[in-house]
Structure 1
Amino acid sequence: MKDLKYLKLLSEQFPNIPEVSTEIINLKAILNLPKSTEHFLTDLHGEAEAFKYMLKTASGVIEYKIDQIFGDELKDTEKRELATLIFYPKSKMKELDERGGIPPEWYKEALDYMVRISQEVSSIYTRSKVRKALPEKFAYIIEELLHIKVCDPNKKDYKNQILTTIIEVGQAKDFIIALSELIQSFAVDKLHIIGDIYDRGPSPDIIMDVLKSHHNVDIQWGNHDILWMGAALGQKSLVATALRIALRYGNLEFLEERYGVNMRPLARFAMNYYPDPDPELFNPHLIDRELDENEIKIMSQMQKAIAIIQFKLEGQLIKKHPEFKMNEALYLEKIDYDNYILKLNGKEYELTDQDLPTIVAEDPYCLSGWEEEVINQLSYSFRNNDKLQEDIRYLFNNGSMYKEYNGNLLYHGCIPMTEEGEFSTIKVDGETYSGKKLMDFFDDIVRRSYSSQKEDADFKDWLWYLWRGEYSPLFGKDRMTTFLRYFTDEDEPALYQENKNPYYQARENEDICKKILSEFELDTEHGHIINGHTPVAQKKGESPIKGNGRLLVIDGGISAAYHEKTGIAGYTLTYSNTKMRLISHEPFISKKEALHKDSRDTISAVEVLKFDKPQKIADTDIGEKLSEDVKYLMQLLEAYQDGIIKEKYN
């Protein structure tokens, strides 16, 4: 037997026929359990409160379960009350307490309802998995309640006495909180984040805290994640860019207070060199909040200062790496500094801001001594903050350029393509990359950038290319026109046009989607591509469903910065054992409003796919692995029965 060596190792874990038989029975039974629900979100962009609410509600899955369980037994308003109790149990009960106290009858009814919901959402898992997820102090009681059938007359009094005693001994509140957390955890088993946790919104660090504590999550990197990953490694162009974007949206709090980035060196430099920046160009874009005039002024000064440093550093990178082919973006050397005219593609544009005191015309990309000192201090601050390093380490370890999971292909941006529908190619050190090979190349680059010990390693520079390069699968445009938007004001849309990669038009074609699935060796008839990065303008009639249902774009603008463009506040996707549902959301305003709403939070839910028969674990990637385990366990059983391997008993 060629697998005899492996079987002998396996026999150490299962030393005799009864033990290996038990494991075979267990695994074969698990293979026939229903597939658990997957939850897909993308482009969170620092909107922690909206993200946490989507997790709490499982994007409508919990309300859907309440409808299924209670039907006409409860009114719609009562179902909503029950849902908000599950989402925010502490706040809901505190509110009821303040209205005059909570009677025992309310606790009894609430506990009964929540036990029924807990039974439903946990029913697709093994007892072992459920047991491991139970809070230690209530584990025995909850496990008993979960396995009492609603229609079992023999256990009716038993159940009632348990609930009554929970209330009598003063544990009802804690028990409701424990059941709420259990329901939220089991409503969705697997969480997929399809990129862009960082930038624009105020609290990406809080999102990272939630992800790090989640029981089962994977991440596909977005361009904004790569930006912060590179910045945390000290790549100076990315440090400058990350800070400029944070300042542009007025997000200093998380930088200074939660990530401990020392902004004082930049502030001192900016106040000295840029005392009066143009407010139209450099004032922060504030969404749903206000800052005082002094805060706005210093942020605009710092934004201009770090923008100039960024453009200088980017010019240095472009010259250092001719393979990036980004000479068009060498704007600083195309300026006539006597007249402040930008000469570009045979045309001339007057600069809207001519106050550029640190730029030397003969060497425009050279940092001044003070600029060099500022960016060195900022880079040091990024590299030596424990909280930031912990978050970024999690991104490196739990993220990837793409993921194949249960027959679906997940990635943030695009697979770069030509106008003819072929995969674009890039050549690096004599090697050609395209399609899946290109994605694998960049995945390797990202991982090498983290492991490299050299401060100036080229791998870190490639992270900058991934942020904004023409053939970056995460960027997906031919150029980035940030400099032009800051320093020119022309009635010429083409000047600021960032042309999307042909992929974004090609993905409307089902054959192209199948071609991509085939490139990754996935089933072209049953697989789907789950995509983010480009907000779908639903209010203009754009559909998130592309390629006759082969590709789903689930970026509907969770970020408040996109709400006006999309007309909604994000899409999420759920994939259960019976269907795939695409859900559109309305803006999350606050916990207070969520507590008092008498209607659902989702605008609509589209059934993308309904399966002919419910999917089982046997139909999933985990099922494939378990089936492989069963195969070897059966071989071990035969080896015991044939006497090839001797059994051991204690």
Structure 2
Amino acid sequence: MPSVSHPKKPGKLLRLLAEKYPTKESVMSRLIYLQGQLVLPKGVEHFMSDLHGEYAAFQHILNNCSGVIREKVDYVFGARMPPEEKAEFCTLLYYPKEKIEQVTKARRATPAWYRENIARCLELARLMSWKYPASKLPALIPERLRSVIVELLATRPDADAAQLAYQQRLLASIVQADAGAEFLEAFAAFVKRLAVAQFHFVGDFFDRGSRPDAILDRVMALPDVDIEWGNHDVLWMGAALGSRACIASVVRNCLRYDNTDVLERGYGISLRALVTFAQHLYPDKAPIQAAEKAITIMLFKEEGRLIERNPDLQMESRRLLHHIDFRGACAVLPQENKRYELRKAYFPTIDENTDDPYQLTEEEDAILHDLCISFTESPALHRHVDFLYRKGSLYLTCNGNLLFHGCVPMNVDGTFREVTYGGKTYAGRRWLDFCDQMARAAYLHREPAALDFLYFLWCGRLSPLSGREVKTFERTFLEDRTTWEEPADPYYRLLDDEETCENVLKEFGLAPKRGHIINGHVPVKVKKGETPVKAHGRAIVIDGGFCKAYHSKTGISGFTLLSNSRGLRLLAHQKIADVRTALAENGDIESVSETVELVSIHTTVGDTDQGREMQEEITDLYNLLLAYQNGVLKPQG
């Protein structure tokens, strides 16, 4: 029994609790329910990072829950089903609507086929549901068929002949009512809900891949989600809120990766005016290339003015337009005082004689103005950005783990780097907390300094979401590739050091010997021998390069991480089947599983953050029960 107090007078908390539980019986019922939940196995946590718009890969991993469903099918049906049947059944669970259409077209969707597969779904769901309290199950079942599925789950065909006959009659009635397809789809959705209790997305939905909007639509429909913002996410958040520098960067990225459909079709943002303007400036270039050149100059102009008005951001090394020698076709980098040859010396929107190369032309200003209106008024984009703010944060501590996308800025000796902004100095967790506050100020108040800060979070050297010296100017204009190198924060190198990781965990109030840092942002180059597991398991980098552009560098198709009652398991996905392959060949994810940590005693709900909250509620309820028993409060019934 938890420690309880013996109040002579009921406090405000007890009085409020008494309104919710006005009788002794209601208090006891709640206590019994909570105490029982504490001993259930901890639910599966599923971690993903750096999806970068790769919807096809995301869809398949989400549908098979990183192999959880396939494992459960193997466990339940074992040798009772041959491998090819299990593969087809898994595909039915992943893509029920499409698979049913395929089977129907092949004339295999007989009443017996429906009865058999619904019975399999029922058997699988029954086993997977044992980790959940019965009261929670109905909420996990699609509402339209909830009552019948709950009834099916309650049947016990192994108990006696009557129960077997009852279950068989229910299954036969479903097929006779021509509802087999609906029930299979509902069961597939139910099984996926049972497979994963909590989803963690450790940053970067946007850019490179073409369908971040579709990914976010799916994520918004998931039951229990948290998001740790990535630098690409805050860039789009800033664009949606009206930061012109963020808007120019978003448009440039979309043009550079040839995925303008997400702007035009996904979010209703037209680039027609920009393309028309660019084609006049660069008539020898293809429309997309011309538009990229035009928006790049606008970006450097907007960025330069942003940096000038925000010296605390310490981004002066990125303000380089005024260091171009237009007549000499070179640039003098201020850090080195050295001249570098330009790749191209054609700058049609910059007056070579001006003292202010950051001044927008009238046409550039008008284009950015119209783009700003389109971004800030896009309903679809704002639905997604509202969700990112509602479910997201710069970092999260959850069940002993620390989740964030980029880094905690450090010095080379492993101490936390001090950053001064607005006359105050921050370091470690305080700096990340301040960055989170500034991001929210941009959303809540549209403060100009906070909007500028979102751009800093996207690409600033001291940004915990970036942590590297971005060399966009050099990569765009300079021939000498040695200028393209982008120095990274010492954190990324020190992540291999166990003492450093333990210090980070302690900084965020976590147990240094038991907790883990779960990180994204930097693709792990597996093909070069890099490992995602750092510092003897204290840190795990789960950016395995979902983006197709990185597959040749990483050698894999992405990482996912699973945490269940038995420990942590990392999956390196070698090949991810698309929908067509899954349907045509019953193909699945080819993955290599690595156990990061195995616990000797299964973790229960009581060992989680949720369990600790339950324990606090249990203590309060015991105090309320004591108040009722001692007459300090009078029960209502």
TM range (shorter): over 0.9
Aligned residue number for residue 566 of structure 1: 554
2:607 aligned to 616, 619, 631, which one?
Answer: 619
State the SS of the aligned residue for 1:586.
strand
* 1:252-308, Cα deviation, whole Å (9 max, x unpaired): 21211221112122122111212224xxxxxxxxxxxxxxxxxxx211111110001
Question: In structure 2, what is the Cα distance between the partners aligned to 1:364 and 1:276?
Answer: 24
Q: Which amino acid aligns with 1:29?
A: G
State the SS of the aligned residue for 1:123.
helix
CA RMSD of aligned residues (A): 1.4
Aligned residue number for residue 119 of structure 1: 126
State the SS of the aligned residue for 2:603.
coil
Does 1:234 find its partner at 2:225? no
Aligned residue number for residue 51 of structure 1: 58
Question: In structure 2, what is the Cα distance between the partners aligned to 1:321 and 1:15?
Answer: 57
Aligned residue number for residue 459 of structure 1: 450
Q: Is the 8 A contact 2:312 2:422 kept in 1?
A: no
Question: In structure 2, what is the Cα distance between the partners aligned to 1:523 and 1:9?
Answer: 34
Unaligned runs of 5+ in 2: 1-6
Does 1:22 find its partner at 2:29? yes
Deviates more, 1:309-318 or 1:127-136: 127-136
State the SS of the aligned residue for 2:509.
coil
1:298 aligned to 287, 290, 309, which one?
Answer: 287
State the SS of the aligned residue for 1:424.
coil
Q: Is the 8 A contact 2:467 2:489 kept in 1?
A: yes
State the SS of the aligned residue for 2:131.
coil
Q: Is the 8 A contact 1:408 1:522 kept in 2?
A: yes
Aligned residue number for residue 482 of structure 1: 472
Question: In structure 2, what is the Cα distance between the partners aligned to 1:215 and 1:198?
Answer: 21
Q: Which amino acid aligns with 2:226?
A: D
1:343 aligned to 332, 348, 366, which one?
Answer: 332
Does 1:416 find its partner at 2:416? no
Does 1:546 find its partner at 2:534? yes
Aligned residue number for residue 533 of structure 1: 521
Question: In structure 1, what is the Cα distance between the partners aligned to 2:87 and 2:26?
Answer: 48
Q: Is the 8 A contact 1:585 1:604 kept in 2?
A: yes
Shift of 1:446: 0.4
Superposition TM-score, scaled by structure 2 size: 0.96
Shift of 1:161: 1.8
Q: Which amino acid aligns with 2:113?
A: W
Q: Is the 8 A contact 1:481 1:496 kept in 2?
A: yes
Aligned residue number for residue 4 of structure 2: none
Q: Is the 8 A contact 2:60 2:577 kept in 1?
A: no
Aligned residue number for residue 521 of structure 1: 509
State the SS of the aligned residue for 2:487.
coil
Question: In structure 2, what is the Cα distance between the partners aligned to 1:23 and 1:149?
Answer: 28
What pairs up with 1:386-397 in 2 under 5 angstroms?
Answer: 386-397=379-390
Unaligned runs of 5+ in 1: 278-296
Question: In structure 2, what is the Cα distance between the partners aligned to 1:213 and 1:138?
Answer: 18
Aligned residue number for residue 381 of structure 1: 374
Question: In structure 2, what is the Cα distance between the partners aligned to 1:385 and 1:495?
Answer: 38
Q: Is the 8 A contact 2:405 2:520 kept in 1?
A: yes
Q: Which amino acid aligns with 1:374?
A: I
Q: Is the 8 A contact 1:59 1:602 kept in 2?
A: no
State the SS of the aligned residue for 1:530.
strand
* 1:151-205, Cα deviation, whole Å (9 max, x unpaired): 3234222222221222222111111111001001111011100000111110111
Does 1:12 find its partner at 2:19? yes
How many residues align structurally?
Answer: 625
Aligned residue number for residue 591 of structure 1: 579
Shift of 1:330: 2.2
Question: In structure 1, what is the Cα distance between the partners aligned to 2:308 and 2:15?
Answer: 59
Question: In structure 2, what is the Cα distance between the partners aligned to 1:368 and 1:429?
Answer: 32
Q: Is the 8 A contact 1:583 1:605 kept in 2?
A: yes
Question: In structure 2, what is the Cα distance between the partners aligned to 1:276 and 1:332?
Answer: 24
Deviates more, 1:564-573 or 1:150-159: 150-159
* 1:516-567, Cα deviation, whole Å (9 max, x unpaired): 0000110112111110000011111110000100111111011111111111
Shift of 1:149: 4.0
Question: In structure 2, what is the Cα distance between the partners aligned to 1:392 and 1:95?
Answer: 37
Q: Is the 8 A contact 1:360 1:366 kept in 2?
A: no
Shift of 1:140: 2.2
What pairs up with 1:145-294 in 2 under 5 angstroms?
Answer: 145-149=152-156, 151-154=158-161, 155-277=163-285
Superposition TM-score, scaled by structure 1 size: 0.94
Q: Is the 8 A contact 1:34 1:615 kept in 2?
A: yes
Q: Which amino acid aligns with 1:626?
A: M
Shift of 1:489: 2.1
Q: Is the 8 A contact 1:569 1:585 kept in 2?
A: yes
Q: Is the 8 A contact 2:157 2:167 kept in 1?
A: no
* 1:572-626, Cα deviation, whole Å (9 max, x unpaired): 0111111211111134353110223355413211111111111111111111111
Does 1:360 find its partner at 2:351? yes
Q: Is the 8 A contact 1:60 1:602 kept in 2?
A: no
Shift of 1:150: 5.9
Question: In structure 1, what is the Cα distance between the partners aligned to 2:618 and 2:198?
Answer: 24
State the SS of the aligned residue for 2:16.
helix
Distance 1:177 1:254, change over 3 A: same
Deviates more, 1:407-416 or 1:132-141: 132-141
